[in-house]
A and B are shown apart, each in its own frame.
Chain A
Amino acid sequence: MKHFIDTIKSTYGKYKVIVWIICSLLLLIFPALIPSNYVMGVVCRILFYATLAGSLNVINGYSGQMCIGHAGFFCIGAYIEAILATQYHINFWVLLLVGGIITAIIGGLIALPTLRMQGIYLSIITLGFSEVVRLIALNWTSVTGGAMGVKGIKSPTLLGFTLSSPKQYYYIFLVIGIVFIFVTNRIINSRTGSAWISIREDELAARSLGIEIKKYKILNFMYGAFWAGVMGAAYAPYTRYIDSTYFSLDEGFNILSMVIIGGQGTLIGPILGAAVVNSLTELLRSFSEWRMVAYAVLIIAMMWLRPQGLVGASDSVLAGDKMKKKKIKVLAKEEK
């Protein structure tokens, strides 16, 4: 097995540029290869959740804060886009940023009182926050349409083209996803990212090293919320109708499950998690009533065998054996 991975790695190393070009080309022409709108719809959902789960992973996976109310941030972004686009006819591309920024500010405000909280207490607060947001959306009828929701959200246009079907929307989700991965990768490898990881590993130690815990925790929450807001803003015109039922706690747990199944604290994890969860639920459709049971059993089995997620650290095939080597070194040192 190890030999196999090594072969792949060395081949990849040799033809890095070619592999990248082929991959990008494949991604670009993908919609042309798939004739079905339905399959493209599932692909869009995977791309969409990959970024959304990725943004939650920034909070849960990298700084070790336990947020389970991510649907709340998603909801805020979606409603901002929906309301501003239908009432004030503001351009979609502007609203992507606006949605993200306002959600980030709200994320910052939520982070403030929760700085002293950790683990399950923080979880409960984010859970409550998510419900509060949903209930505001349900009851503030004059602004959000209440139970009637917001309908007639216009599809975005680019250079005169209207992007409405999943085939066209694929590119929007793809570009946002790539930007997200690129930016997040840079941040994770920067001073800020190191600060987040050090907070996750040991808050006390991080503080003693002079890391401003408060600042980085707030920053972390804001960054995660920003992308959830962007995804919300991108999602509203995709469905063209939203109401509060889209943003239930179930949705929050759904996103969380993708992060955990894929593997927390890795960039690729949430992407894989989104792909696995969304395609599994589609493929198990033929089980009818037993679908969610079959899905749950698979998840339990997976968590039992790989509690760290599919690509989460250590001896994962997909994560390569980077961590394993380190582990062995550490073990070897200890033995000495």
Chain B
Amino acid sequence: MKKLVALFLTLSLMVVTLAGCSTGTEESSTSGSTSGESNTSAQTDGKTITLGLTAPITGTHAEYGVGFQAAVEIAMDEINNAGGVNGYNLAVEVMDSKGEPKETSDIVRQFAENDNIQAIIGDFTSSCSMAAAPIVDEAGIVLLSPTASNPDYPGMSDYTFTVMNNQSTEAPWFARAVVGQYIGAKSVAVMWLNTDWGIATHQYLLQGFEEAGITVVADESYAENETDFSSVISKLKSTDPECVVILDQGNVPTVINQIRGTGWDVQLATLGPGSSEQLIQLCGENAEGLIVDTPSFLTPENEEAVPFIDAFKEKTGYAPTDHSLCAYNSVYLLAESIKAIGDGEITREAIKDNLKTAQMDGLAGHVEFNEEGGCSRELLILQVENGKYVVKEDYGYGVE
């Protein structure tokens, strides 16, 4: 009996294997639509433009992938409820890349061969997006990544776009506009996290300080799993800077608490965490006066963002981050591009051509692409006052 079961299992696996080779394409289009297509109100006469979304729905980055899917669906619902684009409804076909470049390549190939798919949104990581770049280049279909921040990515093809800015623009701006102009500091001490992100950002930040004529009196790094920063802090303290810049994400609350714990009342600014609610919860009074920059202000205090936050929470059960907002914006940018085609035929090529000049103003400020297809976003300056983030300077501050 056992052998018979084993035999059956083996044979069925083989049959499935063989069947997979011949019927893969047809199946893919239907399977995707059952799993992820968002069918919204049919106000238009049934004409639909389908976009492909490749995102890590499972795996390490699942939180962001699920966020992408939710944000894209929210944006499409909004657009479709408002009458669609040029008489077309938008729909999405979602595929799970697990955050692996190999998977993304397969998915993008599949999308490229599916004539119904007019453009692709994704993927979450730069690796995945860059692995897919040669494929979209050959196939001639837009790959708009909401979050790929590798500066090399947008230049890889005419068809590759990203709405995330990279640290080569944010860090120098932070040095010049936030520290130099807004805080008005002449001397600064930097403590930074020694990871690939930290190293790259730190390099751009130092360049920015040099160009802005700000003296860096102390410059100390630490490892990711450190918890006691007292030696670094006392070194910084001895140089008596006007401002301390913390380059980190997860450790920022601990660092701030330890700085304030030594009774040092220096101006603090941090590049990395953005408007993190957790930071205020963990720091309490110690966070007062802290200055952060953020590409988007997704907290309940920001009334404009409330509908998006509520819709997002309803779909996923957690609060959106800037990453999801980027996915949301990606849909609007593609819609802008489709709108710009006007009465012309909606083709992949036309979407690419019009996407280059597409722009929008929304929750993340003004968004438009540069020549390569990259994006330099404007940022907000926030300060913590009475346990809340307050917008001090709007988008466009300190832009040269």
Knowing A42-B20, A276-B17, A291-B96, say if A241 contacts B10 (CB, 8 Å): no
Cα separation A223 to B11 with both chains bound (whole Å): 33
- How far, in angstroms, from A317 to B36 measured CA to CA in the complex? 39
A124 at the interface (CB under 8 A from B): no
Q: How many residues of B contact A (CB 8 A)?
A: 55
Q: Is A143 an interface residue (CB 8 A)?
A: no
Q: Among residues 138 to 162 in chain B, which have CB atoms less than 8 Å away from a CB atom of chain A?
A: 138-139, 150-152, 156
Contact of B9 with A34 in the complex, beta carbons under 8 Å: no
Could you name 15 residue pairs across A and B whose Cβ atoms are closer than 8 Å?
A38-B110, A41-B106, A42-B24, A241-B127, A276-B13, A280-B13, A283-B16, A283-B20, A285-B95, A288-B94, A289-B58, A291-B96, A298-B13, A302-B9, A302-B13
Task: Say which one of B25-33, B220-228, B245-253 lies at the interface with A.
Answer: B25-33
Query: Known interface pairs A279-B20, A305-B2. Does A288 touch B112 (Cβ–Cβ under 8 Å)?
Result: no
Secondary structure of the A contact surface, majority rule: helix
Report the bound CA distance from A318 to B25 in whole Å: 29
Q: Is A164 an interface residue (CB 8 A)?
A: yes
Of the candidate stretches A56-64, A102-110, A144-152, the one touching chain B is A144-152
Q: Is B313 an interface residue when CB atoms closer than 8 A count as contact?
A: no
Contact: B109 with A151, CB < 8 Å? no
Chain A 1-16 interface residues, beta-carbon cutoff 8 Å to B:
1
Q: How many angstroms between the C-alpha atoms of A301 and B21 in the bound complex?
A: 24
Known: A37-B112, A292-B58, A315-B3. A282 touches B24 (CB 8 A): yes
Q: Which residues of A contact B355 (CB under 8 A)?
A: none
Cross-interface CB contact of A241 among B6, B9, B106, B133, cutoff 8 Å = B133
For A285, the chain B residues whose CB sits under 8 A away are: 28, 31-32, 95-96
How far, in angstroms, from A292 to B96 measured CA to CA in the complex?
11
User: Residues of A contacting B95 with CB < 8 Å?
Assistant: 285
Interface string of B232-264 (1 = CB under 8 A from A): 000000000000000000000000000000000
B366 at the interface (CB under 8 A from A): no
Contact in complex: A41, B105 (CB < 8 Å): yes
Identify whether the interface residues of B are mostly helix, strand, loop, or mixed.
helix
Q: Is the CB of A241 within 8 A of B58?
A: no
**Chain A residue, CB-CB nearest to B150:** A148
Query: Across the two chains, which residue of chain A brings its CB closest to B133?
Result: A241
Interface contact A241-B24, CB-CB below 8 Å: no
B315 within 8 A of A: no
CB distance from A331 to the nearest CB of B (A): 17
Q: How far is the CA of A286 from the CA of B200 in the complex (A)?
A: 39
User: Could you tell me the distance in whole angstroms from the C-beta of B31 to the nearest C-beta in chain A?
Assistant: 3
Could you give, for residues 266-284 of chain A, a 1 whenever the CB lies within 8 Å of some chain B CB and a 0 otherwise? 0000000001100110110
Query: Given A38-B25, A151-B130, A306-B10, 4 other A-B contacts at CB below 8 A?
Result: A151-B156, A152-B156, A286-B27, A305-B5
List B contacts of A165 (CB < 8 A): 138
Q: Of the candidates B17, B25, B113, which one forms a contact with A275 in the assembled complex, judged by CB atoms under 8 Å apart?
A: B17
B10 contacts A310, C-beta separation under 8 Å: yes
Question: B residues 80-95 with Cβ under 8 Å of A?
Answer: 94-95
**Contact yes or no, B96 A288, CB < 8 A:** yes
Q: Is A207 an interface residue when CB atoms closer than 8 A count as contact?
A: no
**Chain A residues within an 8 Å CB radius of B20:** 42, 279, 282-283
Residues of B within 8 A of A166 (CB): 109
1/0 per residue, CB under 8 A from A, across B117-146: the answer is: 000000001010011011000110000000
Q: Roughly how many angstroms separate A97 CA and B2 CA in the complex, as a whole number? A: 46
Does A239 lie at the interface of the complex (its beta carbon under 8 Å from any beta carbon of B)? yes
In the complex the two chains form, is A239's CB within 8 Å of B109's CB? no
Which residues of B lie under 8 Å from residue A279 when comparing CB positions?
16-17, 20-21
- Cβ contacts B62-76/A at 8 Å (1 or 0 each): 000000000000000
Q: Judge whether A214 is part of the interface by a CB distance below 8 angstroms.
A: no
Contact with A along B325-362 (1 / 0, CB 8 A): 00000000000000000000000000000000000000
Q: How far is the CA of A164 from the CA of B3 in the complex (A)?
A: 44
Chain A positions 32-60 with a Cβ under 8 Å from a chain B Cβ: 34, 36-39, 41-43, 45
> Is the pair A317, B10 in contact by a Cβ cutoff of 8 Å?
yes
Asked if B306 is at the interface of the complex by the 8 Å CB criterion, the answer is: no
**Do A288 and B17 touch across chains, with their CB atoms under 8 A apart?**
no
Question: Are A43 and B106 also in contact (CB < 8 A) when A38-B28, A146-B196, A317-B7 are?
Answer: no
> Is there an interface contact between A289 and B25, defined as CB atoms closer than 8 Å?
no
Cβ-defined partner of A245 (8 Å) among B5, B127, B133, B134: B127
Q: Check B57 for interface membership: any CB of A closer than 8 A.
A: yes
Cβ-defined contact, B125 with A245, below 8 A: yes
**Residue contact B21 to A148, C-beta cutoff 8 Å:** no
- Asked if B35 and A286 make an inter-chain contact with CB atoms under 8 angstroms apart, the answer reads yes
Closest CB-CB distance, A213 to chain B, in whole Å? 36
User: Does A206 belong to the interface (CB within 8 Å)?
Assistant: no
Whether A93 sits at the interface, judged by CB under 8 Å, is: no
Enumerate A49-103 residues with CB–CB distance to B below 8 Å. none
Please indicate the chain B residues that have their CB under 8 angstroms from the CB of A302 in the complex: 9, 13
Is there an interface contact between B21 and A39, defined as CB atoms closer than 8 Å?
A: yes
A240: Cβ under 8 A from any B Cβ: yes
- The distance in angstroms between the C-alpha atoms of A239 and B138, with both chains bound, is 13
Question: Cβ of A149 and Cβ of B130 under 8 Å apart?
Answer: yes
B residues 10-56 near A (Cβ < 8 Å) are: 10-11, 13, 16-17, 19-22, 24-25, 27-28, 31-32, 34-36
Q: How far is the CA of A317 from the CA of B9 in the complex (A)?
A: 11
- Is there contact, CB below 8 Å, between A239 and B17? no
Does any Cβ of B come within 8 Å of A138's Cβ?
Answer: yes
B115 to chain A, nearest CB (A): 12
Asked if B109 and A37 sit within 8 Å, CB to CB, the answer is yes
Q: Does A306 lie within 8 Å of B25, measured CB to CB?
A: no
For the complex formed, measure the closest distance between the CB of B292 and the CB atoms of chain A, giving whole angstroms. Answer: 24
- Across-interface contacts of B27 in A (CB, < 8 A): 283, 286
**A150 CB to nearest B CB, Å:** 10
Judging by beta carbons under 8 Å apart, are B96 and A38 in contact?
Answer: no
CA distance A315 to B35 in the complex (A): 40
Residue B398, interface by CB 8 Å: no
- Is the beta-carbon distance between B24 and A239 smaller than 8 angstroms? no
Cβ of B101 and Cβ of A306 under 8 Å apart?
A: no
Q: Is A20 an interface residue when CB atoms closer than 8 A count as contact?
A: no
- Fill in one digit per residue for A303-335: 1 if any B CB lies within 8 Å of its CB, else 0: 001100010000111100000000000000000
Does B106 contact A42, Cβ atoms closer than 8 Å?
Answer: yes
**B392 CB-CB contact with A under 8 Å:** no
- Chain B's closest residue to A245 (CB) is B127
Residues of chain B with a CB closer than 8 A to A243's CB: 127, 130
Asked if B25 contacts A36 (CB within 8 A), the reply is yes
Residue of A nearest to B34 (CB): A286
The list of the 3 closest CB pairs from A to B, nearest first, reads A286-B31, A147-B196, A279-B20
Q: Once bound together, how far apart are the Cα atoms of A316 and B7, in whole Å?
A: 8
